[in-house]
Amino acid sequence: MLTWLNLSYQDAVSPNMEELVILNDHALMILIIITTTVSYMIVFMTINKYTNRFLFEGQMIELLWTMLPAIMLIFIALPSLRILYMLEEINNPMITIKAVGHQWYWSYEYSDFKKIEFDSYMKPLPELSSEEFRLLDVDNMLVLPFNIQTRMLITSSDVIHSWTIPSLGLKVDASPGRLNQGCVNILRPGLFLGQCSEICGSNHSFMPIMLYSVNLTQFLSWLNNY
């Protein structure tokens, strides 16, 4: 399958990402209606020699051209404000994971259970197998349980990075000296990929993120065997 034909978002694996996709479709339909209507009016007035002067001047038409865009903007703004608050809300997380950005790799800390810390580097090309992903595979991936409310604490040890996984609808800046947080609630098991999305230096494109989602039993077994 040709990847350049994939013009839409990645499949949503979190409630927040599902809401973002719905908002995108909602806004896109409004834009299609506006574009179609305006294009029709432009073409109609261009080819019609007997264009009604009412379309060019008049207090009523000016009022309509002002009020209708304002109403349409309200229909876009209200759903987007709702999702904005959803993205910022974190309700009683059961697990907290800390991610620290470095030039140019990520490190993770599981401090809720026992002291587990590890670095996550991109695998160099000579070490990749045929089933692994070029520029996206790492030596130590982040493991999280699905259907469990998880809080991600994001910071940086040097410059600004950004911890981003598109299929989760999550993008949190990693700023030095500051602790930002994001909510992760994965809906199904699987392997989800992301990358640093804040230009952070010469190797910015070589610090991927790999998240492996498993059930709670497998997650606890992974913790015990780490």
The correct CATH number of 13-88 out of 3.40.50.1000, 3.40.50.2300, 1.10.287.90, 3.10.20.90 is 1.10.287.90
Q: What is the pLDDT of residues 38-62, one digit of tens each?
A: 888 778 777 776 666 666 666 777 7
Q: What is the pLDDT of residues 109-138, one digit of tens each?
A: 998 877 889 999 999 888 888 888 888 899
Q: Are 172 and 182 in contact (CB under 8 A)?
A: yes
- Residues near 156 by Cβ (< 8 Å), separated by ≥ 6? 100, 101, 102, 174, 175, 176
Q: Where are the domains of the chain?
A: 13-88, 95-225
Mean pLDDT in residue range 53-72: 76
The correct CATH number of 95-225 out of 2.30.29.30, 1.20.120.1730, 2.60.40.420, 3.30.365.10 is 2.60.40.420
Residue found under tokens 């990520």: 106
Q: Are 161 and 174 in contact (CB under 8 A)?
A: yes
| 1 pLDDT tier (thresholds 50, 70, 90) | very low
Q: What is the pLDDT of residues 170-196, one digit of tens each?
A: 899 999 999 999 888 999 999 999 999
Q: What is the pLDDT of residues 75-117, one digit of tens each?
A: 888 888 888 888 887 778 889 999 999 999 999 999 887 788 9
The pairs formed by 78-83 with CB atoms below 8 angstroms and a separation of 24 or more are 79/23, 79/26, 80/23, 83/16, 83/19, 83/20, 83/23
Mean pLDDT in residue range 197-217: 91
Question: What is the rounded CA–CA span in Å between residue 67 and residue 80?
Answer: 20
Q: Which of 153, 150, 163 is nearest to 92 (CA)?
A: 150
Question: What is the rounded CA–CA span in Å between residue 196 and residue 43?
Answer: 45
Q: So what's the pLDDT on residue 126?
A: 85
Q: Are 213 and 188 in contact (CB under 8 A)?
A: yes
pTM for the whole structure: 0.80
